[in-house]
Amino acid sequence: MASHSPSSHSATVDRPLVDRHQRTIKYLRISVTDRCDLRCRYCMSEAMTFLPRAKLLSLDEIAIIAERFIARGVTKIRLSGGEPLVRRDVGDLVKRLGGNLGRGLEELTMTTNGTRLAEHAPAMVDAGIRRVNVSMDSRDPERFRYITRHGDVAQVIGGIMAARDAGLAIKINMVALKGFNEDEIAPMLAWCRDEGFDLSLIETMPLGAIDEDRTDRFLPLTGVFRDLETRFRLERDSYKTGGPARYWNVDGTGTRLGLISPLTANFCEGCNRVRLTTEGKLYLCLGHDDQVDLKGALRDGGIAGLDEAIDAGLYAKPKRHDFRIGEGEGPAVARHMSVTGG
């Protein structure tokens, strides 16, 4: 991948990223691929249709767009998918973006399913990544295989331990699913506490058509938290990662419990995030279809065209999402989570 320094993309923050609701955008999430080597039931249909490779942004284009966001004030970038580590040569992108750390970019992170983490963790650390989020909804082998349709939880846990040994801080992302893994939430938190990992619990989000009814699986985190309070000493923690989670310290240890509650505790007021898809579309909100085509803007108009498209996107950014879940409610948007990125 060709190398470009941030200064070649106008490193002066002369056009801050402020939306029409006066929220400053500091956080860019990038889906480097819509493909994944797992098929989690709440995320994907079993028979998915993925984008033709010819429609994807090149890794060089992803880097150019990311560096332009850094030049305009973004301080945190998270790489996601699909599963980011299935994209060939993604390590080159990680290394290049890591070169922006300390030059406008304050943090580079990744969300992964962990299946390839053992292989990639050392290079991620060398590139400047210091923490990763690993999606794992169960530690029970049969449950994990069921929810992912074919995954091996031992492989994921092995990747987590290898990443920790390489020097990465670990946060486990666990989607709370009624009647499926709610009995594992407290044990998962205890395991994270004992291993020195953080845990974020996430309410299922109505994104994309899947093969099951999300209403049957929706588990409000308000009740989950009340149960956890009876089992652990939870103290509110002011820790912030730039994302939507609210945090609590667990039993006076270094472990934090995060809650991401898009349905029971709306977090839109302070939204500082936008999302770039692997196809080059900039989505302004998970719960809306508003988007602008940054790939076309960059290819047709260079950096000036890119800036114009970003500005148009900021103006269109909605005040809040429209997530609803219940009997008869379809998905909030047609696209799957794997398209927009976690």
Which residue bears the tokens 């989000």?
Answer: 205
> What is d(CA 124, CA 159) in angstroms, rounded to the nearest whole number?
13
Query: Is 42 labeled as ligand-binding?
Result: yes
Cβ-contact 339, 331 below 8 angstroms = no
Query: Is 285 labeled as ligand-binding?
Result: yes
DSSP character for 208? S
C-alpha closest to that of 279 among 34, 28, 2, 48? 34
Query: From edge to edge, which strands make up the β-sheet containing 273-276?
Result: 234-237, 246-250, 256-260, 198-203, 169-176, 131-135, 107-112, 76-80, 27-31, 273-276, 281-283, 291-293
Q: Is 322 helix (H, G, I), strand (E, B) or coil?
A: coil
- Element containing residue 274 per DSSP (H, E): strand 273-276
Report the 10 Å Cβ neighbour count for 175: 23
Query: Is 256 labeled as ligand-binding?
Result: no
Query: Is 273 labeled as ligand-binding?
Result: yes
Query: Is 274 labeled as ligand-binding?
Result: yes
User: Which residues, 6+ apart, have CB-to-CB distance to 282 below 8 Å?
Assistant: 274, 275, 276, 291, 292, 293, 294, 309, 310, 313
Query: Is 275 labeled as ligand-binding?
Result: yes
User: Which residues, 6+ apart, have CB-to-CB distance to 337 below 8 Å?
Assistant: 43, 205, 207, 208
Query: Is 135 labeled as ligand-binding?
Result: yes
Cβ-contact 77, 28 below 8 angstroms = yes
For 12-46, give one letter per residue: b (16+ CB within 10 A) or e. Answer: eeeeebebeeebebbbbbbbbbbbbebbbbbbbee
Cβ-contact 278, 33 below 8 angstroms = yes
Query: Is 53 labeled as ligand-binding?
Result: no
Query: Is 192 labeled as ligand-binding?
Result: no
Query: Is 48 labeled as ligand-binding?
Result: no
Q: What are phi and psi of 159, to 5 degrees?
A: -65, -40
Query: Is 36 labeled as ligand-binding?
Result: yes
Query: Is 205 labeled as ligand-binding?
Result: yes
Query: Is 29 labeled as ligand-binding?
Result: yes
> What is d(CA 42, CA 273) in angstroms, rounded to the nearest whole number?
23
Annotated binding site for S-adenosyl-L-methionine: which residue ranges? 42, 82, 135, 205
Annotated binding site: which residue ranges? 29, 36, 40, 42-43, 78, 82, 111, 135, 171, 205, 268, 271, 273-275, 285
Annotated binding site for [4Fe-4S] cluster: which residue ranges? 36, 40, 43, 268, 271, 285
Annotated binding site for GTP: which residue ranges? 29, 78, 111, 171, 273-275
